Amino acid sequence: MKILVNGIQSNLRFSSAHVIPGHESCGFIHGHSYFVDVEIEGERAGEFEFVVDFKDVKKYTKALCDELDHRLLIPVYNSLIDFKDFDKESDSIFELKKQKSVYFKIDGKGYTLPAVDCVFLPLPYTSAEELSKFFAETLARKLGETYDNLEYISVCVNEGIGQGAQFKKEFVE
């Protein structure tokens, strides 16, 4: 059985700025008002024969949305971003979060930002495609702690009405 959670109607939204380094038009800092749709398939189970409790899906998805809301999303593992005092090969992303300010360059343009205004993501890009994968994998890990009856989680991160990217994460037995 499949359950669906509509991001607009369930208030699973976030507004963030991002940049796609090297892209002709998206290579400049710009923003979107995102919303997140979730689809989960699995067997009905438990006392109430739920696939998954909607409350859990919305709670975990909303927590992710809140973490990204009103921040600049930075794809730490993008090869075109050069950080000052941070080595992508050996340093932890948590080190960036501890800094008061973060310094980086993209194509020779230098940026200095308060670290608290940024979310450092372990991604190569902050595209809708990568964000949908990030959401699906994060939700799969979290829901997998409680539910053992799930077949897949599919997440669509929409950059606005009419355009989004969907990633399907299958549970492997």
pLDDT tens column, 71-114: 999 999 999 999 998 988 888 888 888 889 999 999 889 999 99
150 neighbors 52 (Cβ within 8 angstroms): yes
pLDDT at 173 over 80: no
Which tens digit of pLDDT belongs to each residue from 135-171?
A: 999 999 999 999 999 999 999 999 988 999 999 999 9
Could you confirm whether 65 is annotated as catalytic? no
Distance between CA atoms of 131 and 156, rounded to whole angstroms? Answer: 9
Instruction: Identify the active-site residue in 24, 26, 89, 95.
Output: 26
Pair of tokens at residue 137? 């994998």
Domain range list for the chain: 2-170
Instruction: Identify the active-site residue in 30, 43, 70, 170.
Output: 70
Angle between helices 54-68 and 128-144 (to 10 degrees): 130
Instruction: Identify the active-site residue in 95, 129, 151, 159.
Output: 159
Which tens digit of pLDDT belongs to each residue from 31-55?
A: 999 999 999 999 999 999 999 999 9
- pLDDT value, residue 40: 98
Residue 45 DSSP class: B
Architecture of the domain delimited by 2-170? 2-Layer Sandwich (3.30)
**E strands within the chain?**
2-5, 13-18, 30-42, 72-75, 81-83, 101-106, 109-114, 118-121, 150-160, 163-170
Could you confirm whether 47 is annotated as catalytic? no
Which tens digit of pLDDT belongs to each residue from 9-31?
A: 999 999 999 999 999 999 999 99
DSSP of 120-137: EESSS--SHHHHHHHHHH
Could you confirm whether 70 is annotated as catalytic? yes
111 neighbors 133 (Cβ within 8 angstroms): no
pLDDT grade, residue 126 (50/70/90)?
Answer: very high
